Chains A and B, each alone.
Chain A
């Protein structure tokens, strides 16, 4: 166990809906990053938060947004869901920007 927890574990939504995924970082970690992983692919970086500020973003549209809270937990919000958003969404926490990453078990999102 990495100490990083994600909720929910599975989620089914329909196209056009909005979704919020949650991540609780490992104790003492102030950095969290989010990834999208399609089946059979490696994780794709979405964005990273360091001390409540977004400080890095991958090639994802603005409908992917996030928050990091004072306790360093985090949310990923996706608006106007599309079928291609179906994937495993992973969050990872670390003690520094590109330090050793501790991943959660992920949220499996299915968009119908």
Chain B
């Protein structure tokens, strides 16, 4: 069964500090991996999309890395801001050419930035 496990479940850091969120998946074969940011009570917003051939992708202060061999991805946030407080969800697409029914969502990491 395809699974996506995220860690930690929750994280509290001080404003200005860096942090790294982890995503491990068992989806195989694999097409792409996405990171989304979801503010409380709102819909997820795409941060990065990486194919199996990409190792890293940045979006401002967000940098995602991917190791397709170990089936691990990380999302690194640099110089955190209060607005970074949100849930971060990892989503993996299998290489099936299918639709959204193939997407496997993680449960997310709940990040709180304290002033």
Asked whether any CB of chain A lies closer than 8 Å to the CB of B71, the reply is: no
Stretch at the interface among B11-19, B40-48, B53-61: B40-48
Q: How large is the interface on B (under 10, 10 to 19, 20 to 34, 35 or more residues)?
A: 20 to 34
Q: Is the interface of B mostly helix, strand, loop or mixed?
A: mixed
B98 at the interface (CB under 8 A from A): yes
Task: Give the interface of B toward A (CB within 8 A).
Answer: 4, 31, 34, 36, 41-46, 49, 89, 93, 97-103, 105-108, 110
Residues on A lying within 8 angstroms of B by beta carbon are: 2, 4, 6, 31, 33, 40-45, 47-48, 50, 55-58, 88, 90, 92, 94, 97-98, 100-106, 108
A1 CB to nearest B CB, Å: 10
A39 to nearest B CB, angstroms? 10
Number of A-B pairs whose CB atoms are under 8 Å? 76
Report whether B43 and A42 are in contact in the complex, using a CB–CB cutoff of 8 Å.
Answer: no
Determine if A101 and B101 form an interchain contact, defined as CB atoms under 8 angstroms apart: no
Cα-based distance from A56 to B100 in the complex (angstroms): 7
Q: Which of A43, A50, A58, A108 has most chain B Cβ within 10 Å? A: A43
